[in-house]
Chains A and B, each alone.
Chain A
Amino acid sequence: ELKVEQNPLFLSMQEGKNYTIYCNYSTTSDRLYWYRQDPGKSLESLFVLLSNGAVKQEGRLMASLDTKARLSTLHITAAVHDLSATYFCAAFLGSRLTFGEGTQLTVNP
């Protein structure tokens, strides 16, 4: 059974700082997704990572995938308040997504 673990679950950081969210998954996965959720809103797809060594960047967020280590990271550069949200990683296998518990990120002025 595929399991996904995310850490940290809660992250409070100051504006301008850098930080990384980690996502480990237990078995081979077809692809790895990162989603963002604002309170009361839909999960918004940020990145899909398809192969070993894949790196995707959008603004202050960069995601990477190491399939050998079964690890994906979401790196935040020079955080700003607008990035406050819950971030989920999800591994795709078969036709379903298996999610981590989510990282609740708060960026403080």
Chain B
Amino acid sequence: EAGVTQFPSHSVIEKGQTVTLRCDPISGHDNLYWYRRVMGKEIKFLLHFVKESKQDESGMPNNRFLAERTGGTYSTLKVQPAELEDSGVYFCASSQPSGLDTQYFGPGTRLTVL
């Protein structure tokens, strides 16, 4: 069974540019989560999708971040315009429909904003 995949693995952009990160969850997992780890800090929750609906987006830092999950399959996280403090590793995770099961993580996208 394929795990959670993320693309790209690395992205280097300049301040003010736009970047879109993609996450493909494990097939059949209705729950999809985004987290991020800023340098030296803990991994923090950003938001949670159940199928195509945003269940909880309370962790999104500001309105420069937009997450979508059209069709309830893969998800994208767009940062526009990117700022220096957005640098970090963005993780995606998915879990079974019950939502109480283990969250399986992707390898992350390392974003560097210069």
Contacts and interface: CB of A to CB of B under 8 A. Distances in A.
The number of chain B residues touching the other chain, given as a range, is 20 to 34
B102 interface: yes
B56 A94 contact: yes
Given A95-B55, A96-B48, A42 B42 contact: no
B106 A42 contact: yes
B42 A43 contact: no
- Counting chain B CB atoms within 10 Å of each CB, the highest count among A42, A45, A100 belongs to A42
A44 B3 CA distance: 11
B44 interface: yes
Interface in A16-43: 30-31, 33, 35, 40-43
Contacts, number: 53
A88 interface: yes
Interface residues of A, number: 23
Interface string B28-65: 00010101000001111100100000011001000000
A100 B42 contact: yes
B103 interface: yes
A89 to B, nearest CB: 10
Contacts of B56: 94-96
A59 B100 CA distance: 26
Contacts of B106: 42
A19 to B, nearest CB: 21
- Counting chain B CB atoms within 10 Å of each CB, the highest count among A45, A88, A94, A95 belongs to A95
A23 to B, nearest CB: 12
Given A31-B100, A45-B102, A97-B43, 5 more contacts: A42-B104, A42-B106, A44-B105, A99-B44, A102-B42
Interface of A: 4, 30-31, 33, 35, 40-45, 48, 88, 90, 94-102
What are the 4 tightest A-B residue pairs by CB atom distance, in nearest-first order? A43-B105, A99-B43, A96-B45, A101-B42
